[in-house]
Amino acid sequence: MKNIFKFCAIVFFSSTTTLQSAEFESNVAIANDYVWRGMTQTAEEPAISGGFDIAGESGLYFGTWASNVEFGDGAALELDWYAGYANELENGLSYDIGYLAFTYPGEDSLDFEEIYFGLGYSYFGLTYSSGQDSAPDNTEFSVALGETGLGITYGDYDEYGEYTIISYDLPISIAGLGVALSWSDFSAETFSGLADEDTFVITFSM
């Protein structure tokens, strides 16, 4: 993984895109729960997350993101690393291909990696994530209801279950923080050993 990111960094900074023209973006969020693909990652307890991205005019990007987690084992932190390339064609079709590593310091047995490919057009999006080294695949379809801030996402996570997420980005901010509401419904696979989940999440972010 380190070699992949070293390669991406070399390509990024040796391309025609200079460091001065690169965009640096950071984010931080507080939520009453960390729900990922329909499943809580914090035992339905609050989560604090944040990360940063570096993107160039060429379309190449890389970054990292972290959040607290609670699985009842040695893992207390999720630390993700990703790199990819995104662009948009003249006909309005956008695409995004990249590599994502999920790591859990203190519980390395949970680590896994995915290669993802996404397509987007107008208010529609489709992403396929291929799990590496026997990790399960995930297929996700999303649609935004115009400029209303409403969105619906449906996903099928192999060996785990299916999930539906309805989200709404409020058109206001509180103390400079964006506010988002979401409702998630997760239906577990019969033999996954997991339970169905229905979760409401409120997120404050900047």
Q: Which residues lie below 8 Å from residue 45, measured CB to CB, with a gap of 6+?
A: 33, 70
Mean pLDDT by 10 residues, the chain (206 residues): 51 51 92 98 97 94 97 94 97 98 95 98 98 97 96 98 98 94 96 91 98
Q: Which tokens go with 179?
A: 């506010």
What is residue 101's predicted lDDT score, i.e. its pLDDT? 98
What is residue 10's predicted lDDT score, i.e. its pLDDT? 52
Q: By C-alpha distance, which of 117, 41, 126 is closest to 79?
A: 41
What is residue 17's predicted lDDT score, i.e. its pLDDT? 46
Q: Which residues pair with 43 in a beta bridge?
A: none
What is residue 19's predicted lDDT score, i.e. its pLDDT? 52
Q: For residues 154 and 142, what is the distance between their CA atoms, to the nearest angstrom?
A: 6
* DSSP per-residue string spanning 40-61: ESSTT--EEEEEEEEE-TTSEE
Cβ-contact 65, 51 below 8 angstroms: yes
What is residue 8's predicted lDDT score, i.e. its pLDDT? 53
The two most distant CA atoms of the chain are separated, in Å, by: 52
All structural domains of the chain, each given as residue ranges with its CATH number in brackets, are 2-205 (2.40.160.40)
What is residue 11's predicted lDDT score, i.e. its pLDDT? 52
